[in-house]
Structure 1
């Protein structure tokens, strides 16, 4: 099931809220959420619910073993075994075809390539399970003695499919002690509507532009057309993924859970390090806190540790070489900025900082998009203008100008929304001590969201492309 769907918005979610509200005890409310979460996950592919249940039970049991054998070698064995099994599940279900294809290419063998459908959300809930195991071992959270409560944590439908990667410590207290008031319901619903608007109104329309230009061989695409499309694609990825995160955070709020933010206007950054402090925050913090914690990566090997993190970041996004290259690409710029030092970079003119970061980010999304390495190479020929010499590609073309003319307001609006402009306007009204200004802000926010919901609903009637990009990760 997907969030950007009329059935979810007007049937599944209201029914879940009604059942949740009718339940008197928190324990019953938790059961309601578990049942609806499992239905949500099983809606499209019922078979993979067995994998989710296995993963949840296995990792819960590992936690029990860690608590039972605390401060003994058996606890370390449990941690190692648990993480190994989790990684093996990822290797089997996400990377087995990629591994076999490359083995065949290198060795000349003819090993049959496994045809395994990727279980939705496996990268997200597996990382959550690993973080729980390590946190139990480090004693930063208490071992959860009851399986159904751990199942609730791992299967909670707002964040199950595409994150954010919610750590157990974030919801540990709220599993046993939370309440929902009118403010939670209202603020959560408004956040959900904003996320839906990002996806349905902005991201889907941006994708139509991208698919028009990049949905075919780009050998003959003009230089300007390539730049235009990759900029639009960069905006698309942001609105698609941050829209999902907004919906997840809003839904969590409606049920009494407070998830951490996953995006903080990343395109406003002035360094690449800052970009990754604002983009997919839950993934970056996972690698920072869990992978770099390993004592093996001391100061003498910090650069190896840095590139390992970015290799894993790329590989996490997909079983293809372009994702690995994308991760290492960012690793190079992170190393560059470390070598430059914060003091030197602060001396750069602000305009140059923005030019530098936006160029790196935009070119990075080119690597992210093209899984076909031949097309990726052509992308760089186009973007640099070399294609004009190599195969006579034009600098510009009528189709690019026509598309830009037809979509200029959409693109400018997307750029505006991607920057921290609207939140400042909202803060001006909602944080005002003037009652009139505050009332205008509050009523205006609700009115805008109602209009957005109406527009989203109309668009969803005839729209089929509502799957979020990060579902495949």
Structure 2
């Protein structure tokens, strides 16, 4: 079930909140209310996942049991063994459902035939929605318990509610237990919280439907164009549109998730901080998909040694982390190259800083960073390496100047307007997801925000009714 689908907006959401907000907040310190939220979240997931919902349920049970055993064990070797078992059990479903086919493509045909002969599927494996996100969330939980950063909850229902929480279940942000542990049992949604959450949901929906989907339409047309007919203008327009699409698609989802969480009494971490304003690749990764960046930093980069073992080891660690970051996004060589591209850029930035004391900054740093990010997006979007290289060749001047007739035909005044508006918003200093509707905001300003959110919501619904709903890009991750 998607946040932008009519079923979610007109049926699931109002029915759920009507029941949830009517439930007494003091039900056994919130245990029954958490049970209601867990069941509603499992229903949300089951609508799309069907029988594969068992993976999420198993993740709840396994991670909670292992976390409790780790916390109750004082023998360090046993704690480490339990952690290793827990991490392995989390990764096995992810490896099978997301990477098995990819791995089989690099194995000898005889081995593939053997696996197929004994009943292990080697193709047409359905990817469970959000498995990358809830896998990383489960690993962070047991690792934090192992490090004694948090104490596990003693209730399977409480952990199950946290682990299946539907606003952040499918595409993040990756919410760590430590960030919401004090809100598990004791949380309260004031009228201001509910109001803010509704406005954030409306604005996030607009980012997705109005800007991302229109930008995506242009990007899809360009990337699907034959290489022989693609012009220089087509290529730059296409990657510019995709640059806006992936940002507003994913940040729009995160804003909607933050809004829904706010209505439930949770304060989710921010996931984006205007990344296209970055003046270096290092800064970009502090602003883009921040919960994933922090996850890789805290659970992979630092355990590998971080920057504590000298420059050479730091560069190797960065390459490893971003190679895995690329593969996390998808089981394809193009995603691996995208990750290695960003890893290489980060290594170069650190090398220049270490050797020459120079780092990109200012207007030139911003322009260079945005250009390098857009080059990376070509590999992220293209279906194959050859297609990406051909596209980059056209961007570098391999085609005639201007737009082709086919692309001119789709550039309606509405799409041009939405691309311009999207570019302005993406490059502005204001982050929509940080909106706060406080009492001292002012009557007229509050009225303007409410009216704007309503207009965005109604217009988004009209576009959904006309064009249908396109799934969020990060649903496949």
Instruction: Give the 5 Å matches for 1:66-85.
Output: 66-85=70-89
Name the structure 1 match of 2:119: none
Name the structure 1 match of 2:418: 410
When residues 432 and 336 of structure 1 are mapped into structure 2, their CA distance, relative to the original with a 3 A threshold, is farther
Count residues with an aligned counterpart.
Answer: 461
2:182 corresponds to 1:200 = no
Q: 1:292 aligns with which of 278, 285, 301?
A: 301
Q: 1:420 aligns with which of 424, 428, 431?
A: 428
**Distance between the aligned counterparts of 2:383 and 2:408, measured in 1?**
27
Question: Structure 2: which 5+ residue stretches go unaligned?
Answer: 117-121
Q: Give the C-alpha shift of residue 250 in structure 1.
A: 0.4
Q: Give the C-alpha shift of residue 423 in structure 1.
A: 5.3
Name the structure 2 match of 1:442: 446
Name the structure 1 match of 2:33: 29
**Distance between the aligned counterparts of 2:430 and 2:84, measured in 1?**
46
Name the structure 2 match of 1:14: 14
Give the match's secondary structure for 1:323.
helix
2:470 corresponds to 1:463 = no
2:64 corresponds to 1:60 = yes
Q: Give the C-alpha shift of residue 465 in structure 1.
A: 3.4
Instruction: Give the 5 Å matches for 1:25-424.
Output: 25=27, 26-104=30-108, 112=116, 113-294=122-303, 298-300=308-310, 301-341=313-353, 344-345=357-358, 350-385=362-397, 387-388=398-399, 396-404=403-411, 406=413, 407-422=415-430
When residues 131 and 263 of structure 1 are mapped into structure 2, their CA distance, relative to the original with a 3 A threshold, is same
**Distance between the aligned counterparts of 1:453 and 1:295, measured in 2?**
45
Q: Give the C-alpha shift of residue 455 in structure 1.
A: 0.9
TM-score normalised by structure 1 residue count: 0.92
Give the match's secondary structure for 1:455.
helix
Give the match's secondary structure for 1:44.
helix
**Distance between the aligned counterparts of 1:423 and 1:149, measured in 2?**
32
Give the match's secondary structure for 2:107.
helix
TM-score normalised by structure 2 residue count: 0.91
**Distance between the aligned counterparts of 2:75 and 2:113, measured in 1?**
47
Q: Give the C-alpha shift of residue 318 in structure 1.
A: 0.2
Question: Structure 1: which 5+ residue stretches go unaligned?
Answer: none
Q: Give the C-alpha shift of residue 85 in structure 1.
A: 1.6
**Aligned-pair Cα RMSD in Å:** 2.3
Q: Give the C-alpha shift of residue 296 in structure 1.
A: 5.2
**Distance between the aligned counterparts of 1:282 and 1:179, measured in 2?**
24
